[in-house]
Structure 1
Amino acid sequence: MDEIRKLLDEIIDKNSLIYGVLSKVKVKDEQNFSKVTIKPVLIKNSINIQFTYHYKNKVMHKNIDLNESSNEVVKLIDTYFRQAVLFTTEADYQILISKKGKVKILKKKPTKSLVDLSHNRKKNYLIEEGKPCPFLVRLGVMNEKGKIYSKKYDKFRQINRFLEIVSDVISKVEIGESFNIVDFGCGKSYLTFALYYYLVDILGLDVNIVGLDLKKDVIDFCNKVAEDLNYDKLKFIHGDIKGFDGFEKVDMVVTLHACDTATDDALSKAVMWNAKIILSVPCCQHELFSKIKNPIMIPMLKHGIIKERLSSLVTDSIRSNVLEIMGYSTQMIEFIDMEHTPKNIMIRAIKKDNCNKKAIKEYIEFKEFWNLENLYIESVFGNKLTDLLNINDNVD
């Protein structure tokens, strides 16, 4: 089956599939499907492969992510069928399986045309499909003609969603002669490169961006890409969040999927710098799972999966509340669709005032409700937060 999988991966990667039919069942069974057809479909601006299972008196549909579709086809051929015909933009392929399991693949000239699924997914994107973008080409998201690789389309959407958020917040703050940005836990840095491209190449701003990560090989790779792209004011440094002191003044802090309390370290640094903008997508919040307690909430807390999700929401609510105490205007927004990852909440914070006394009262009452003490976020913010929480002024 390896040669079938190789062919399927190539077809999916090139986004060339038009239609496919799996037929000639190995064992006839009226209770089972007699054939399966496949075709690409557009769902919420993302391409999936739709599998249609044909039974005697009904059909059933299942939409499968591009990355998993090859596995499903191979499984179906291996288990149920002796033949498959795949119509692509480049060729028609007939796959034949003998009774002994021998595979034969016949290639013929293409006989079908691809239906355009992209007409309604290009609008409003800050980086358009069909126009080559240097960093996306270099990172393997699109080819040199601007065509997005199928397996990278979710990443392409995520990048554009991120830039939409950046476009909105950047218009709400004053941009000086230079604008310093730090991206904590940058990883392979798709979004860091996107940020530089948007702010420098599109908006023409004078920015300095530093990406920070603990993986040395990732940092070396990103610095090489930045050098290849001539992104002179984009640097990547190997190190952790707590120890970074590369800038005296930081205007914007980005922290995407920093694990557990590393998010709190990043938020503390951002507030210490009086950063104008904070964009944070927390990940893997474990601290409060064993801490949140309230007898009234037992119907939720007694179920581990619900308690885990609830503790994550409580954690992010506390983080947002702390930022409000520190004088930030905060919003919780959806970063990417829930169908792609449950870790999709972004805390978006913009510096406004010195202290929000109403937020202090809300914070204290919220902690009392959940019986929370000795929170990590309070330890990393230190006296700067403690002194504000000890304010005895009456607040409405």
Structure 2
Amino acid sequence: MAEEVRDYIEKIFAKNPLKIVVSKAVSKDVRYRKITVVRKEKGYQIERLTQKQAFHENVSAWDEQKLIDMCAGWLGTGYGQLNAWTDGEECSVMVSKKGTASMVCKRTTQFNPQKIAAGHNRKKEYIFNEGDIIEPMIDMGILTSEGKVVRTMYDKFKQINRFAQIIDDVIKDKGYRNLNIIDFGCGKSYLTFILYYYFTEVKHMNVTMTGLDLKEDVIKHCNEAAAKYGYDGLHFEVGDINGYHSDKPVDMVITLHACDTATDYALYNAVYWNAKMIFSVPCCQHELNGQIESDNYSVLTRYGLIKERTAALMTDAIRAELLEYCGYRTQVMEFVDFAHTPKNLLIRAEKTGTKRKQSLDEVTRLMEEFHLSPTLYKLMLEGCMIKD
């Protein structure tokens, strides 16, 4: 039951909830009558309510995983129900007296973001708002020429906002005025154009942004589009992630759906350049699936589907831990709703300079147990970032 409850709560946080209420105490020994979690500008605020008092605690956006653990603990022990509100949807997770967990989500027209986020005076609910004239979104068919969201593209509109919010959570309040950004494996670059708009028009920053891809026709089209939009600081180059060199310091590396080990080369370059920020959505992790084996945990490798998913999760876990070892505060999160693109994990990392040395020990033990030789580890070993 505990794993099922946790799975439900992770799905809720993937929807970017604005408010969560934990209620229905299962015994008289439970101290708090109700627990409420409200999303704030820099994270979340928890209110624990007794009959006479209210106790408050703030949780940083970086500690979202901690909050997921807390919610799972509350619902798995002292409480029988959790309600969560996102933009236009309410989800309820219930645990029966027999310990059976279930979740139901439904659309609601009664949702009011301003009322839910009481005390938080936000000017905008989204980074991009309906009515904004954003040429790349118009060309993508997400917005009409008047800035209205096309009805069938509303989910895509929210997904783009979600990704921009993930970046905004890192750069806001940092005082950045100039950024040099590399987008590896940019493809047709729809999101690259939108992010350039975000940095220059929303955040009013001076940005140099380079998109890199192997397809010459795609790069030609992207450069033509950048000229059409008047995006002078955005340009595209034909090139391979492996061996790419930048002639000036890189502040941010973005890599979306770089296939298999291409993600590893992108992460290695980002660390080599001492990039301040990394945003990576891995894709098609085949490498470890062909290596993984274990006598002690053969149950994870016996069945093809489970083996594939285990290998993919281990791939991203190793990447995250190696970034921690190299001095990055790292978070693995899901930025797209399960209903639209399952298995879309995002690795978000910010340079702190504080190395988590035990991360390398944990990676090494995992590699030894499952006979793994991941590309990122080998690249860092060859680049003298880690010692064998």
**Same-fold call, TM > 0.5?**
yes
Cα distance change, pair 220–45 in 1 and its aligned pair in 2 (3 A): farther
Name stretches of at least 5 consecutive residues in structure 2 with no aligned partner: 1-84, 90-107, 115-123
- 1:255 and 2:255 are equivalent in the alignment: yes
Aligned-pair distance for 1:145?
1.2
Partner Cα separation in structure 1 for residue 193 and residue 366 of structure 2: 38
Corresponding residue of 1:149: 150
Aligned-pair distance for 1:321?
0.9
Equivalent position SS for 2:231: coil
Corresponding residue of 1:73: none
Counterpart amino acid of residue 221 in structure 1: H
Equivalent position SS for 1:235: strand
Corresponding residue of 1:375: 374
Counterpart amino acid of residue 287 in structure 1: E
Assess if the C-alpha contact under 8 Å between 2:87 and 2:111 holds in 1.
no
Assess if the C-alpha contact under 8 Å between 2:292 and 2:311 holds in 1.
yes
- 1:236 and 2:236 are equivalent in the alignment: yes
Corresponding residue of 1:193: 193
What is the TM-score when the length of structure 2 is the normalising length?
0.66
1:13-162 paired onto structure 2 within 5 Å:
124-162=125-163
CA radius of gyration, larger in: 1
Corresponding residue of 1:389: 387
Corresponding residue of 1:163: 164
1:167-182 paired onto structure 2 within 5 Å:
167-171=168-172, 173=174, 175=176, 178-182=178-182
Cα distance change, pair 118–189 in 1 and its aligned pair in 2 (3 A): farther
Deviation digits for residues 301-340 of structure 1 (CA, Å, limit 9, x no counterpart): 1110111111000000000111111111100111101221
Aligned-pair distance for 1:279?
0.3
Q: Which has the higher contact order (CA 8 A, sep 6+)?
A: 2
Aligned-pair distance for 1:139?
3.1
| Identity percentage of aligned residues | 44
- 1:311 and 2:311 are equivalent in the alignment: yes
Aligned-pair distance for 1:213?
1.3
Corresponding residue of 2:5: none
- Number of residue pairs matched? 278
Cα distance change, pair 217–341 in 1 and its aligned pair in 2 (3 A): same
Aligned-pair distance for 1:182?
0.4
Counterpart amino acid of residue 368 in structure 1: E
Aligned-pair distance for 1:269?
0.6
- 1:302 and 2:330 are equivalent in the alignment: no
Partner Cα separation in structure 1 for residue 109 and residue 189 of structure 2: 28
Assess if the C-alpha contact under 8 Å between 1:46 and 1:154 holds in 2.
no
Deviation digits for residues 189-223 of structure 1 (CA, Å, limit 9, x no counterpart): 12211211111111111110011112222222221
1:215-234 paired onto structure 2 within 5 Å:
215-234=215-234
Name stretches of at least 5 consecutive residues in structure 1 with no aligned partner: 1-42, 48-115, 391-396
Deviation digits for residues 32-73 of structure 1 (CA, Å, limit 9, x no counterpart): xxxxxxxxxxx97699xxxxxxxxxxxxxxxxxxxxxxxxxx
Deviation digits for residues 337-369 of structure 1 (CA, Å, limit 9, x no counterpart): 122122311000000115321212222222223
Partner Cα separation in structure 2 for residue 384 and residue 243 of structure 1: 13
1:243-392 paired onto structure 2 within 5 Å:
243-353=243-353, 355-372=355-372, 374-385=373-384, 388-390=386-388
Equivalent position SS for 1:188: coil
What is the TM-score when the length of structure 1 is the normalising length?
0.65
Partner Cα separation in structure 2 for residue 237 and residue 120 of structure 1: 45
